């Protein structure tokens, strides 16, 4: 996919005269690629029309970086399509909110409910899970297991068969227990059936959710629009979560879901585990959709903002893929020293959403500094190892003492390291283009 787009753009930039025909050919190839990524045909056609409006052929002929201009236009257009123009309801900590999850069976609802609860719990919320799926055998057991593992209170029944009743009782109970995030997991069916939508309507009426989240499997392909629309027509969906983004699917269906529900994507699921869950970030998502490779934008930024003399070393470390605590330390140094490198990391899903949330840069900087104090108390052996097994209790205690920080914070720092190391490991074996080759997608 990425190949065909870059080929199309390459051909175009080689052409001496960029006329209507060349531009059309190029756009047709991008169209094909986007269709393969499950973007709906109608949306691709719209995009193509819009591109023609914004890309000025005269500018292109003037010998500027043509590929850049087209790439940027396509990129911007897709970002726009993922923005419904209004944010979703955001729950407030300490104030009870009811969040209802809907989606077809197997889309990842139950898993995502737990991830959503766990994500907020880590941030100091009091979440609770209600299992209103009485359709699927074992649904309650699954939720119970997940909830127990995450130490989240749950409610459900083995005998009651009325999902509306369970939902109502569960929500009521957790409101009394002053939970601030009451999550209602619902049933799905293999198909979009009248009975399912009727059930969703009833559960929604009974629990009066503040937000209804439509959970979409990224691999459902072109079916996304109809599916999202069907749910939106029966209940008032206000946000989308796209799951299984760790698989092969590029997730183009998300554009359809946004269009059909007029709601934003808020999170993506990137694995079966509880913590494989990320705040949705438009730019990396669109990069992936375009097959730009998750890291090409990132590499561009490296060339832009990392001092030239540090580039080869950093790039080598990147491709070797062994991410040590020392590398993390150096990157933190960069982040603090030169603000713009924050932009580099904002290209990476894991770095941006957790470590440097938008609008909270100061807080993030303070945290990074604390992490660095702790790393200052580490030995060379510790800094140069990428094996966390080395970090036994006595070492952790020594680091805590040495830096005057609590033990839990040292553990938190190591968790952060683990998370970043995972992001980093994806870059292993990546072919890093040299400077000058960077204009290619």
Q: Give 249's DSSP letter.
A: -
With CA atoms as reference, report the closest residue to 351 among 426, 404, 239. 426
**Number of residues counted as binding Mg ion (CB under 5 A):** 2
In the complex with ligand GDP, the residue whose CB is nearer, 47 or 240, is 240
Site string for Mg ion, 35-74 (x = CB under 5 A): ----------------------------------------
In the complex with ligand GDP, the residue whose CB is nearer, 38 or 180, is 38
Minimum CB distance to ligand GDP, residue 289 (Å): 17
Q: Which residues contact 392 (CB under 8 A, 6 or more apart)?
A: none
Minimum CB distance to ligand GDP, residue 385 (Å): 30
Minimum CB distance to ligand GDP, residue 107 (Å): 4
In the complex with ligand GDP, the residue whose CB is nearer, 111 or 296, is 111
Residues that bind ligand GDP (CB under 6 A): 103, 105-111, 188, 243-244, 246-247, 269-272
- What does each C-alpha distance from 324 to 19, 295, 319, 331, 393 come to in angstroms? 50, 20, 13, 11, 19
- What does each C-alpha distance from 97 to 88, 146, 184, 380 come to in angstroms? 13, 21, 11, 48
The Cα 49–Cα 41 span in angstroms is: 13
71, 110, 227, 353: which one binds Mg ion (CB under 5 A): 110
In the complex with ligand GDP, the residue whose CB is nearer, 37 or 104, is 104
Q: Which residues contact 434 (CB under 8 A, 6 or more apart)?
A: none
In the complex with ligand GDP, the residue whose CB is nearer, 280 or 332, is 280
Minimum CB distance to ligand GDP, residue 188 (Å): 5
Q: Tell whether residue 403 is a contact of Mg ion (CB under 5 A).
A: no
In the complex with ligand GDP, the residue whose CB is nearer, 216 or 328, is 216
In the complex with Mg ion, the residue whose CB is nearer, 139 or 260, is 139
What does 304 interact with, of ligand GDP, Mg ion, none (CB < 5 to 8 A by kind)? none
Q: Give 54's DSSP letter.
A: H
Q: Are 402 and 438 in contact (CB under 8 A)?
A: no
Helix (H, G, I), strand (E, B), or coil: what is residue 31?
Answer: helix
- What does each C-alpha distance from 75 to 71, 289, 293, 344 come to in angstroms? 6, 10, 13, 18
Q: Are 256 and 232 in contact (CB under 8 A)?
A: no
Minimum CB distance to ligand GDP, residue 218 (Å): 8
Minimum CB distance to ligand GDP, residue 136 (Å): 7
In the complex with ligand GDP, the residue whose CB is nearer, 190 or 337, is 190
First to last CA, the chain: 11
Q: Which stretch binds Mg ion (CB under 5 A): 106-114, 211-219, 226-234, 302-310?
A: 106-114
Q: Give 433's DSSP letter.
A: P
Residue number with the smallest Cβ distance to ligand GDP: 269
Q: Alpha helices, DSSP H only, in 93-192?
A: 109-122, 139-149, 163-176
Minimum CB distance to Mg ion, residue 131 (Å): 8
Minimum CB distance to Mg ion, residue 50 (Å): 38
Q: Which stretch binds Mg ion (CB under 5 A): 110-118, 165-173, 282-290, 423-431?
A: 110-118
> Buried (b) or exposed (e) across 149-171, using 16+ Cβ within 10 A?
ebebbbbbbeeeeebbebbbbbb
Q: Are 163 and 199 in contact (CB under 8 A)?
A: yes
What does 204 interact with, of ligand GDP, Mg ion, none (CB < 5 to 8 A by kind)? none
Q: H-helix or E-strand containing 102?
A: strand 97-102
Q: Which stretch binds Mg ion (CB under 5 A): 65-73, 82-90, 102-110, 395-403?
A: 102-110
What does 107 interact with, of ligand GDP, Mg ion, none (CB < 5 to 8 A by kind)? ligand GDP
- What does each C-alpha distance from 199 to 104, 157, 239 come to in angstroms? 13, 17, 19
Minimum CB distance to ligand GDP, residue 436 (Å): 38
In the complex with ligand GDP, the residue whose CB is nearer, 238 or 269, is 269
Angle, alpha carbons 66-64-56 (nearest 5°)? 65
What does 287 interact with, of ligand GDP, Mg ion, none (CB < 5 to 8 A by kind)? none
**What is the binding site for Mg ion (CB under 5 A)?**
109-110
């Amino acid at each position: 996919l990425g190949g065909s787009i870059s080929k199309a753009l390459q051909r175009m930039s080689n052409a001496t005269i960029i006329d209507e025909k060349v531009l059309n050919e190029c756009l047709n190839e991008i169209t094909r690629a986007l269709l393969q990524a499950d973007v709906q045909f109608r949306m691709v056609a719209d995009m193509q029309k819009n591109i023609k409006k914004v890309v000025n052929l005269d500018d292109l002929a003037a010998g500027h970086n043509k590929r850049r201009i087209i790439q940027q236009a396509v990129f911007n257009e897709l970002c726009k399509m993922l923005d419904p123009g209004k944010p979703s309801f955001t729950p407030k900590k300490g104030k009870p909110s009811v969040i209802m999850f809907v989606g077809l069976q197997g889309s990842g609802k139950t898993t995502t409910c737990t991830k959503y609860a766990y994500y907020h719990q880590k941030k100091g919320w009091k979440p609770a899970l209600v299992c209103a799926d009485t359709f699927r055998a074992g649904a309650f057991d699954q939720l119970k297991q997940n909830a127990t593992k995450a130490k989240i209170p749950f409610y459900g029944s083995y005998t009651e068969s009325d999902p509306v009743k369970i939902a109502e009782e569960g929500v009521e109970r957790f409101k009394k227990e002053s939970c601030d995030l009451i999550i209602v997991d619902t049933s799905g069916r293999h198909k979009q059936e009248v009975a399912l939508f009727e059930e969703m309507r009833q559960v929604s009426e009974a629990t009066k959710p503040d937000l209804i989240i439509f959970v979409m499997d990224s691999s459902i392909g072109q079916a996304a629009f109809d599916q999202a629309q069907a749910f939106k027509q029966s209940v008032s969906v206000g946000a989308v979560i796209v799951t299984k983004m760790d698989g092969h699917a590029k997730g183009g269906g998300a554009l359809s879901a946004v269009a059909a529900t007029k709601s934003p994507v808020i999170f993506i699921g990137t694995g079966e585990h509880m913590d494989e869950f990320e705040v949705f970030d438009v730019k990396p998502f669109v990069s992936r959709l375009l097959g730009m490779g998750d890291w090409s934008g990132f590499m561009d930024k490296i060339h832009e903002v990392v001092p030239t003399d540090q580039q080869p070393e950093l790039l080598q470390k990147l491709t070797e893929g062994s991410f040590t605590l020392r590398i993390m330390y150096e990157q933190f140094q960069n982040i603090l020293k030169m603000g713009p490198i924050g932009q580099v990391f904002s290209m990476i899903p894991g770095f941006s959403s957790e470590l440097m949330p938008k609008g909270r840069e100061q807080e993030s900087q303070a945290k990074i500094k604390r992490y660095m104090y702790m790393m200052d108390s580490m030995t060379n052996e510790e800094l140069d190892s990428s094996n966390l097994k080395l970090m036994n209790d006595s070492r952790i205690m020594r680091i805590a003492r040495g830096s005057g920080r609590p033990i839990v914070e040292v553990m938190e720092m190591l968790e952060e390291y683990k998370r970043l190391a995972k992001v980093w490991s994806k870059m292993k074996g990546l072919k890093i283009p040299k400077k000058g080759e960077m204009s290619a997608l």
